[in-house]
Amino acid sequence: MKLYKNFNISKNHKKSIILIGNFDGVHVGHQKLFKLANSYKKKFNLNIGVLTFEPMPKMFFNKDKKNFRISSINQKNLILKNLGVDFVITQKFDKKFSKIKSNFFIKKILSKKLEAKYIFVSNNFKFGNKREGDVNQLIKNEKICDYKIIKPQPLILNKKVISSTYIRSLLEKGNLKETNKLLNRNWSIEGIVQKGRQQGKKIGFPTCNIDIKDYVIAMPGVYAVKAKQKNSNKTLKAIANLGYRPTFNQKKILLEVHIFNFSGNLYNKYLSIELVKFIRKEKKFKNVNQLKKQIKNDLKIAKRN
> Residue 270: which CATH number?
2.40.30.30
149, 197: one domain: no
67, 146: one domain: yes
Please state, in angstroms and rounded to a whole number, the distance separating the CA atoms of residues 89 and 107.
17
54, 110: one domain: yes
Give the pLDDT of residue 103: 96
Could you tell me if residue 165 is inside a domain? no
109, 193: one domain: no
Could you tell me if residue 222 is inside a domain? yes
Structural domain span for residue 200: 186-303
Give the pLDDT of residue 296: 82
Please state, in angstroms and rounded to a whole number, the distance separating the CA atoms of residues 156 and 153.
9
Cβ 53 vs Cβ 125: under 8 Å: no
Whole-model pTM: value is: 0.91
Could you tell me if residue 169 is inside a domain? no
Average pLDDT across each block of 10 residues of the chain; the chain has 305 residues. List them in order. Answer: 96 97 96 96 97 94 90 96 98 95 96 97 92 96 97 91 96 96 97 73 73 93 92 88 69 86 83 95 79 83 85
Could you tell me if residue 179 is inside a domain? no
142, 222: one domain: no
33, 102: one domain: yes
Please state, in angstroms and rounded to a whole number, the distance separating the CA atoms of residues 14 and 16.
5
201, 288: one domain: yes
Cβ 93 vs Cβ 62: under 8 Å: no
Name the domain count of the chain.
Answer: 2
Distances in whole angstroms, Cα of residue 157 to Cα of each of 29, 154, 181, 184: 10, 10, 11, 14
Give the pLDDT of residue 234: 86
29, 142: one domain: yes
Give the pLDDT of residue 267: 85
Could you tell me if residue 166 is inside a domain? no
Give the pLDDT of residue 300: 86
Could you tell me if residue 180 is inside a domain? no
Distances in whole angstroms, Cα of residue 213 to Cα of each of 66, 71, 88, 190: 8, 11, 23, 10
Which CATH number goes with the domain that contains 125? Answer: 3.40.50.620
8, 148: one domain: yes
Half-sphere exposure of 231 (CA within 13 A, CB side): 1
100, 226: one domain: no
Q: Which of 53, 70, 304, 100 is nearest to 179 (CA)?
A: 70
Could you tell me if residue 116 is inside a domain? yes
The last residue of a domain, from among 137, 155, 173: 155
Give the pLDDT of residue 197: 61
